[in-house]
A and B are shown apart, each in its own frame.
Chain A
């Protein structure tokens, strides 16, 4: 078999050297009655051509790519330049381990250092780490970071934060004697109810976590939110699930945000049925020693040449064990490198252009679809690249089915997440969609009468 370089005669040679007759002798510490189980119900090995046939069959069972899709909600289909796929598939980048031996890992380390830099440029924050698992776990880490730093045990959560992110935060805090309280959003504007944020006071609260653009696609009043949280001496934690918006909207730091976390899948990472993605975190420098995960720093070698190393390791589990700032070890390094390559390729101009195109495509849809009588666009002010569509004359299932007949997957039904959005879907536009695609959607919606 091609993955096993040892020949039978070499195996014999090694066995003779070890003074054993049978390889089984090496495993004699394993209880005899429990070892060498029957393999009968395990399928036989497939050759490379058989594997391709097998997986092409599986691939054919996915009908998704036959459809024009407008699904977003935390996973965004953006264009990926071919150089990104080409470069990231290099074995020298994809097959090393974590760069523990810096002398032979300068490629990975410099790539991570440049990724950290790009995250700080996009968010305006002082520091970034070298990646977290995904947007949801990054949100949980952001909450834990704020509570660790503030030494408090309560967190305020905006109820229009991505519902999966809320679930993950819950999972992470449920065993730690931390408590979550919610700030509702205004059903008319889709934005956080600022009065409620002002009025509600909770003792021992360490931070307020909110999303912008939020789960309903609406850009929040981030600056005002930060001002309110600071007046209450709690940290403001922004979540951004659509990283493409970072190139279009005012950076978090300028709005007074203390910690920004989110999902950077939009930067060159395929939608991949939900993973692997890329969790990012940026923070003001006062949080540095409490940050989770790996951080790369610049230094010099014995000859004074610039080089990069993993640094501030005393925060991490391999040194601090149960006192570490997070249990994360393996992260999403290659996805971070993918993002760095994507961002370098798009560059200043490309990224800003594409980011704006996302918004313009959505704005065009909003303008044109507003003329339709069978739907209502709920939040027409301050959207980025997602909007909520309220369906008037159809049940949501029927509406979706009618569009599917025209090879369109319209959007994510919001009733899965909110009880009072019975007949609404969340719909996303990126640069992938052309005017003719959007027109096709508008026509199809018009014909659902």
Chain B
């Protein structure tokens, strides 16, 4: 089994590298590209603090989606909030000692896992049931949903059906910090779960999952409505003036 553990160790080094480097490259690309015109969707905040509040509402409550479609909002929000709780619950594998808030969140993380799968199922159902959404769905949209649901179900199975040795899982990930390859439990569910998570990390910077950094860089949401008070000009546009 050490052979598989070693393979997984390298897989997670690779996945973590792709996720971090890929996202960093994308964020760098977004940050470097100028937004030459003021295009906030109005009414928009007139101060930076107001913009921060607007983005926070979008990130935490999905405000625009709420106005747009209640079904997508409820399923989407349940999924994302569930995923958030699940992520917090999983922090216990990556920190030692485990902080008190993370200990406190543990049982909620399980509900989060259930919520996540329910939300994803709802979103997937829409891809079949609503003709407009069916029309815009690509194979990759189905695959990403399948991937996330498989991650959720395999995780929940280890909680409710076949337990795995979580102590050794933690040892494995703690070992990765210092280049020590501990042995993972040889449970198919666990290995499947981890494989899918690594896959998710790898596709993140190359798929629509880019909506996560995208939201923070969206000019229609992150710009301050003050074009008359302050002159906004991109470097390439300023060069036109010097010609």
Tell me whether A and B are bound partners: no
* Interface positions of B (Cβ within 8 A of A): none
* Interface positions of A (Cβ within 8 A of B): none
